[in-house]
A = this chain, B = another copy of it.
């Protein structure tokens, strides 16, 4: 695939979105933005995510500098996650996106129903 004619930003935007724009990362940001700090299993319960995916998602987000991880070596152990400054700055676009999602879910469903009704006949 040649790059010559592509819009220069599309690759970069796509690159970042494929990192932080996935389903789970967005939901983690929403939850941490709302609650401030959450433990591993609190996030797991809140998001309805599998242990595996939460672990992978949080590790990636920590690597990307979006969340910070604090380990308390108590018994039982306790690990708290919170947004970094970069993660905080991500809040605004994410809340804009999720608010749009909530407000327009009905319209999308309606469009789908209409489209399916029109093509199925």
Contacts and interface: CB of A to CB of B under 8 A. Distances in A.
A48 interface: yes
What is the interface of chain A mostly: helix, strand, loop, or mixed?
A: helix
A12 interface: yes
A107 B45 CA distance: 30
A63 B118 CA distance: 10
A7 interface: yes
Contacts of A94: 97
16 contacts: A1-B48, A3-B48, A5-B45, A7-B31, A10-B30, A10-B46, A10-B48, A12-B101, A13-B98, A16-B101, A16-B108, A21-B26, A65-B111, A65-B114, A86-B104, A89-B100
